[in-house]
Structure 1
């Protein structure tokens, strides 16, 4: 392939989708960083030539001109989607659609559409995938709170670029919304909410900010100050995403009924879980878990299917909760 053709392909990949755009000086700088020495006049001429075959848009009212791809343009630049890649996009559509707001999904829509066309074009049974797959979350399935699209876009960009972000945020215990600067560490999707994990400028401790409580967001082009030893998985395993009853972990030992709780063998409650087979009706597990309210809710719900062997204090606490609930149920309405 000629050097010119390689430059054309490299340049096309640098042009963002509308409403974002890029100027010819910015393209020249990025191309130079890739080893292409070319003048802005040549870039302008190349883009005008390429726009005859590709859905490129130009804002001629700005100086220098700003270029972008048509928002609804399909991504049919070589290499084309193959069947495995097309199926991957169909899976992504099924799982992401319930989780992200419409504007965030709109950035992926051209890819989703091209994937669906590929499956139909190949006359493959996978083309019927959207009609045969549904995503159902456990629990009562309450409606997800609405997240401001600008907030989500600002937060995700800040995370990817390792920048700070500014939010207008209303915590439950704040009398009114406040403008805060956040050092973002990660996002956690815990149905039905999306949590931004990070620190707030000028305040102590790692915070969990529920994104639907933010009404405005913007990227602050200053590097995030992040502890070297912070790990998102370890943070989750610590029990921090639950309502902590104490900082001390709990060594939990349960005798569980089969087959109702067999899923605990396939999906352990913790990375150190040990399972002991007893008989065809029961098994035991021993695992270290966070001392959270979620743990108590789960044990209360599973009380008819498992015995709490250790710790004794937690068994007594769950027993007291069940007795209180039974008294309430037996009361006259």
Structure 2
């Protein structure tokens, strides 16, 4: 193989028959990408193992064997301020206390703000494994918001916005993290789910269900599903699921099921999708908000002395009845008629 050298630089000339010996650029780029993904996911203030990092990479779409991950981590520990605890296996990794970590310019202050808000507000609606795979980015976003002087306005924004309750605030019921992870994984992969469930009446049942949707209503989470052998949907409160395990069997999602329509039909309000023409009188002080936030697109308002007569097409649900009763004496002449 001919070669020419000048000082400490060498040029190698190869013919077409030795192409297999040339380094492949795509592999080099992939190695660099994996290294960057690993560095992003190494936390500060706590430790993480090689198997955990490999799992995060797998969930992010990067399939690598354990030995490759370990070699990468050994190399990264030599060139970055990364601590490796080798007192027990598997080894644990973290950024050193005063290390700045790896802060890539790909995240602007606005992107850091968006990621931080997404982590705070959407954490319960995303599969745990997806949240884990994104953890490195969430950490980077929080770190940059707190350390960059140019991100002060974005950091201050987090103190200026809040999601508030429209009813008496309640603490969320406790959901078993293992149950939530199994439910999310089954929903994500369209896999049958085996559950042990205790209903509101205290009766415990075990069954196989087809998970179709996950909804948060106030502080509660509900799994919309079909029980094996049935073609109608039920809602199971997640905090009442005592145990859950993902089946190895997948299913085809029913093409007729639509989670938005399920909600629009009032199913989370304990209804059956029956639309009615609702009419009632409400005192002006209590009913002013209905002029600003109508009950429906076809709502009509008639002014009568110190009251409003409201007429609207709505879904008939138990929640509607609870809402009307909540006004007490300021609401009167309530009537419901089947929609023609």
Offset of residue 189 of structure 1 = 0.3
Change (3 A) 1:311 1:87: same
The change in CA–CA distance for 1:74 and 1:285 in structure 2 (over 3 A counts) is farther
- The aligned counterpart of 1:299 is 324
Deviation at 1:183, TM superposition (A): 0.9
Deviation per CA, 1:157-215, whole angstroms, max 9, x where unpaired? 22222222222222234633x33222111101012210000112234521111111112
Q: Is contact 1:182–1:198 with CA below 8 Å preserved after alignment?
A: yes
Q: How many residues align?
A: 295
Provide the rounded CA distance (Å) in 2 between the counterparts of 1:93 and 1:298: 32
Report the counterpart of residue 212 of structure 2 in structure 1.
Answer: 185
Cα drift, residue 85 of structure 1:
1.4
How far 1:247 sits from its partner (Å)? 5.6
Cα RMSD for the two superposed structures: 4.7
**Counterpart selection for 2:190 from 137, 140, 162:** 162
1:211 is aligned to 238
8 A Cα contact 1:151 1:215, kept in partner: yes
Aligned to 1:127: 155
2:254 is the alignment partner of 1:231: no
Greater shift, 146-155 or 72-81, is seen at 72-81
Query: Matched residue of 2:269: which SS?
Result: coil
CA distance in 1, matches of 2:72, 2:220: 46
Structure 2, unpaired ranges of 5+: 1-24, 42-47
Once the two structures are TM-superposed, the CA of residue 295 in structure 1 deviates from its matched residue by 0.6
Q: Return the match for 1:194 from 221, 224, 234.
A: 221
Equivalences for residues 1-333 of structure 1 within 5 A: 2-11=25-34, 20=52, 22=54, 48-50=74-76, 52=78, 76=102, 78=104, 80-96=106-122, 107=132, 110-123=136-149, 124-173=152-201, 175-176=203-204, 178-203=205-230, 205-244=232-271, 248-254=274-280, 260-270=286-296, 272-276=297-301, 286-302=311-327, 310-311=335-336
Structure with bigger strand share is: 2
Superposed displacement of residue 220, structure 1: 1.7
Larger Rg: 2
Q: Give distance in 2, aligned partners of 1:297 and 1:166.
A: 34
Cα 1:40/1:300, change in 2 over 3 Å: closer
Give me the TM-score of the superposition, normalised by structure 2. Answer: 0.66
Could you list the runs of 5+ residues in structure 1 that have no partner in the other structure?
Answer: 33-38, 314-333
Partner of 2:6: none
